[in-house]
């Protein structure tokens, strides 16, 4: 696999910085269904009239916390990044007969892990992320993501979701993409959300709050990859 860096100009509060962005090719894995499964799907509740559409059974699904994962990625103004994971503590997804999806998940912020470091460095960063400089877990032990509405735009299970993200007791509207993968009888959902930490009062080395940070600046955008497994109720 080839990794390339390319320069991007970033303007913060009238000051221009140059940042190198790491480009990593992604591989998309496709799931195929047997003709027998397709026949069964056509007799189920469908969100598309196409016979090739992936079909999900309507109803309520409860999150399987041990099988689900939330991954995060933060980036400094330089090419340095940190990444790790969080535990999806609980949640519920509901699919109506027309294929609309709503629901919510609760994330345990006390479970935050750093996965790119080891030993003392790992411990120091994890404790810092749990402090009031970042997510203040003593006062805000959980975060939540609410799925308020969805719009399916192809037969492969890809959706655009609108919802609310709550961190440190602050709620903001978000839009993100996710894919529902049929995994009978389970439901498998994978998606990516990018949020602006400054909107949740996460101030440490943020260009939205502090000037003259130079190379010490940490970008406000945090990437979150969601991988959820839920079972029918």
The ranges assigned to domains in the chain are 56-232
Question: What pLDDT shows up at residue 18?
Answer: 53
The reported pLDDT for the residue numbered 180 is: 86
pLDDT of residue 57: 83
- pLDDT given at position 26: 33
pLDDT at site 174: 95
Q: What is the pLDDT of residue 43?
A: 33
CA-CA-CA-CA dihedral for 15, 217, 73, 202, to nearest 10: -100
Q: Residue 217 has what pLDDT?
A: 56
Q: What is the pLDDT of residue 221?
A: 82
Q: Are 199 and 172 in contact (CB under 8 A)?
A: yes
Instruction: Give pLDDT, residue 1.
Output: 44
Virtual torsion, Cα 8, 11, 15, 16, nearest 10 deg: 20
d(CA 39, CA 223) in angstroms, rounded, equals 38
Q: Which residue, 133, 179, 192, 152, is CA-closest to 47?
A: 152
Task: Encode the chain (233 residues) as per-residue pLDDT tens digits.
Answer: 444 444 555 555 555 545 544 443 332 223 233 333 333 333 333 333 344 456 778 899 999 999 999 999 988 766 678 899 999 999 999 998 888 889 999 999 999 999 999 999 999 999 999 999 889 999 999 999 999 888 887 877 888 999 999 999 999 999 999 988 876 788 999 999 999 888 898 876 565 554 565 555 567 888 999 999 999 99
- Distance (Å, whole) CA 132 – CA 83: 19
The whole-number pLDDT of residue 203 equals: 77
CATH superfamily of 56-232: Lipid/polyisoprenoid-binding, YceI-like (2.40.128.110)
Note the pLDDT of residue 30: 30
Task: Return the pLDDT at 181.
Answer: 83
């Amino acid at each position: 696999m080839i990794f390339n860096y390319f320069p991007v100009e970033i303007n913060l509060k009238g000051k221009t910085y140059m940042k190198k962005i790491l480009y990593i090719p992604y591989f998309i894995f496709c799931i195929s269904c047997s003709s027998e499964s397709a026949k069964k799907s056509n007799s189920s509740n469908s969100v598309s009239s196409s016979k090739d559409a992936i079909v999900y059974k309507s109803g309520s699904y409860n999150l399987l916390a041990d099988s689900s994962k939330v991954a995060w990625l933060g980036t400094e103004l330089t090419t340095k990044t940190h990444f790790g994971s969080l535990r999806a503590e609980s949640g519920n997804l509901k699919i109506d007969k027309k294929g609309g999806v709503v629901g919510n998940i609760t994330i345990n912020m006390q479970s935050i892990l750093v996965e790119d470091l080891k030993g003392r460095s790992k411990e120091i960063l994890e404790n810092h992320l749990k402090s009031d400089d970042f997510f203040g877990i003593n006062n805000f032990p959980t975060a939540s993501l609410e799925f308020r509405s969805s719009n399916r735009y192809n037969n492969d299970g890809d959706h655009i979701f609108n919802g609310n993200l709550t961190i440190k007791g602050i709620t903001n509207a978000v839009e993100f993409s996710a894919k529902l993968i049929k995994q009978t009888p389970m439901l498998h959902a994978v998606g990516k959300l990018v949020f602006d930490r400054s909107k949740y009062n996460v101030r440490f080395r943020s260009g939205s709050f502090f000037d003259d940070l130079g190379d010490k600046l940490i970008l406000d955008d945090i990437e979150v990859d969601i991988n959820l497994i839920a079972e029918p109720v």
